[in-house]
Chains A and B, each alone.
Chain A
Amino acid sequence: MELYRSHVLICGGTGCSSSGSLTFEDKFAAAMAKHDLNKEVKLVKTGCFGLCEAGPIVVVYPEGAFYSRVTDEDITKIVEEHLLKGRIVKGLLHGSAIDEEVTKSINEVDFFKKQKRVALRNCGIINPENIEEYIAFDGYQALGKALTEMTREEVIEVVKASGLRGRGGGGFPTGLKWTFAYNAQSEKKYVACNADEGDPGAFMDRSVLEGDPHVIIEAMAIAAYAIGADEGYVYIRAEYPIAVKRLEIAIEQAKEMGLLGKNIFGTDFNFDLKIKLGAGAFVCGEETALIASIEGERGMPRPRPPFPANKGIFGQPTVLNNVETYANVPQIILNGAEWFANIGTERSKGTKVFALGGKINNTGLLEIPMGTTLREVIFDIGGGIPNGKAFKAVQTGGPSGGCITAEHLDTPIDYDNLIELGSMMGSGGMIVMDEDNCMVDVARFFLDFTVDESCGKCTPCREGTKRMLEMLDKICEGKGTMQDIEDLEQLAYTIKDASLCGLGQTAPNPVLSTLKYFKHEYLAHVEDKKCPAGVCKDLLAITITDKCIGCTMCKTVCPVNCISGEKKGQHVIDQDACIKCGACIDKCPVKCIVKK
């Protein structure tokens, strides 16, 4: 039996890996070996802790000491001070972990204290590559319970009664979906997991797969048992190599332990799970497109009905749920429908994971009960807007969603409230914008995304979004007319009504919601030819003020030679030739070049 007095948890999520945590395990081991600590202290590489802003993160238990932005030099200090001598290195703790000289454990820090973790409960706690640690935290208990103590109907009934709704965007009741597939008559059925998380700024599915891959295997096995399937596919983005690798390892371990394969838990239930890699197409997040892609075709949606529950993968009945949805299932089976239904609001039960990003202090992943207000998320957990700037809007739902303004900050978050505000839950991206962001430009950004990702099958989406983008480009370039704004709105409604799949039907949302709440910004672009936030390049002028000392540095750095002036004399920018790259602004030693 391994005995350790301390556990050092190193975040191995994508955020922290990107900032260097991959080498930490070796470096800790080397530093610890010098003091012969390797037998007393255990190193654990975990999944994402959630507070990516503070990465790379290292947490030392039992104290729960929360070290942030750890560097190689810090490792030696943590080993020599904390692990050897038991003195928490206060200087290296995350700012929120020290309150008037008193150190707080990671669970007492505001960012974590206000959350309720169901789907993310093991992320940052267990080693995702070790099935035993998952089992220690109740892993595979739910599957065992379902297989040996519950009938298929009872499993579906519990999921139904819990009120769980799809976390991928649509919010369709999960239990109902399972019922449809259960009722479908077929020899062969499939379960599938949508891990093709493509919404820019949303990475909760990746975090679950990286931090707790076994929960997906367990949940899919439960779903398969309930609907009568014996085979499953996880369709996962190829852009998530760490998640793919950990899921592969998890599947291998589950097979070895007999938790996948034949006669699971001694019953006659068989289940086999395969991974299918996506290849970079946003539309494959749509269920029928995803199925087409699994079958090896272009990932294009088809009209529904028939729904996948009746005619899915290879024409067979299929249950398709998103990663976060599945991550809730084992907890629901273990704790009961009532436990889950007690969390959240009237029509949205449980918790939701959000990826908080953009102009916010605590960028990262957080899980909150439905019904928490946007203000609590952005200001209490998220820590507010950096650099003393003013909050302007929060964008939810990615390219399918919309912007929510300051006056609606006290809205409790749930599926229906967000739709009422002209946005949507989506997969849970939450991007905060401040006064420096131009809302017309943001709308243009999302349209640019949809145009690129439109599969081209139906005309309203293929042609319509393209025309909308052209109009937005015109407006951002200062060439827009009032007619453009009118056409934009009309076209938006046409596309919403006439498109084949969710991608097209929601593509105009970013435009419609910004038109609704930020019409004045559109008007400023069209009528005054000004971008109030100072983002749209063509509406800006870069000028040199009279503080110029004539050092000629701007002149040398200008890529298009549009700056003239003699040494020690005032320099001038030729506005017609200027490409507004801003290189001169960076170079100016007296900061006399301004963008307005």
Chain B
Amino acid sequence: MKSLADLAKLREEALKKVNIRGERKGKRIVVGMATCGIAAGARPVLNALVEEIQKRNIQDVEVTQTGCIGVCKLEPIIEVYDENNEKTTYVEMTAEKAQKVIVDHIVNGQIVAEFTIQE
């Protein structure tokens, strides 16, 4: 390390690895990780979300897990809570769909209607 710029670069890399420790703020993505969710493939979805967020270096988004959300046949389910605690539920998720949610919903603020529960 020879300069402040070196330090800043190192800090940025390091921060990505630890920034989930801290207070809750901003958007929150909750992944249903009960037995049914896991069986339906929630873990790849969860990992895809985490990966995408870190890849894009998005701050203030927390990815967390919860138990059974209650509609097992639509698993894997994720819920996105906006800053005002508005909830959007996405169902029958896959890793690819998860990436799209991050891009459209989290980054651009557009709800991905096609993944929500259809009547």
Contact = CB atoms under 8 A, between A and B. Distances in A.
Q: Is A in direct contact with B (CB under 8 Å) within the complex?
A: yes
Interface in A87-107: 87, 105, 107
B114 interface: no
B4 A40 contact: no
Interface stretch (B45-53, B82-90, B92-100): B45-53
Contact of A3 (B7, B11, B31, B51): B51
Interface in B36-92: 37-38, 43, 46-47, 49-51, 54, 62-67
Contacts of A2: 17
Contact of B1 (A4, A62, A87, A257): A257
B107 interface: no
A265 B10 CA distance: 14
- Residue from B3, B7, B63, B66 having most chain A Cβ neighbours under 10 A: B7
A573 interface: no
B21 A132 contact: no
A492 to B, nearest CB: 49
B23 A132 contact: no
A520 B21 CA distance: 52
B35 interface: yes
Contacts, number: 110
Interface string B9-35: 011011111111111100000011111
Contacts of B16: 1
Contacts of A153: none
A107 B23 contact: yes
Interface in A256-276: 257-259, 265-266
B14 A133 contact: yes
B2 A258 contact: yes
Interface residues of B, number: 39
A403 to B, nearest CB: 37
A290 B3 CA distance: 35
A92 B102 CA distance: 33
Interface in A38-70: 40, 42, 61-64
Contacts of B49: 5
Nearest to A133: B18
A265 B62 contact: no
Interface in A114-155: 125-126, 132-133, 135-141, 144-145, 148
Interface in A234-260: 257-259
Given A133-B18, A144-B4, 7 more contacts: A7-B21, A9-B21, A61-B20, A62-B62, A126-B18, A257-B1, A266-B3
25 contacts: A1-B13, A3-B47, A4-B20, A4-B50, A62-B63, A62-B64, A64-B23, A64-B24, A85-B67, A86-B37, A86-B66, A87-B34, A87-B67, A107-B22, A107-B24, A126-B18, A133-B18, A135-B14, A136-B17, A136-B18, A138-B11, A144-B3, A144-B7, A258-B2, A266-B2
Name the 7 nearest CB pairs between A and B, nearest first: A86-B65, A86-B33, A136-B14, A87-B67, A132-B14, A136-B15, A62-B20
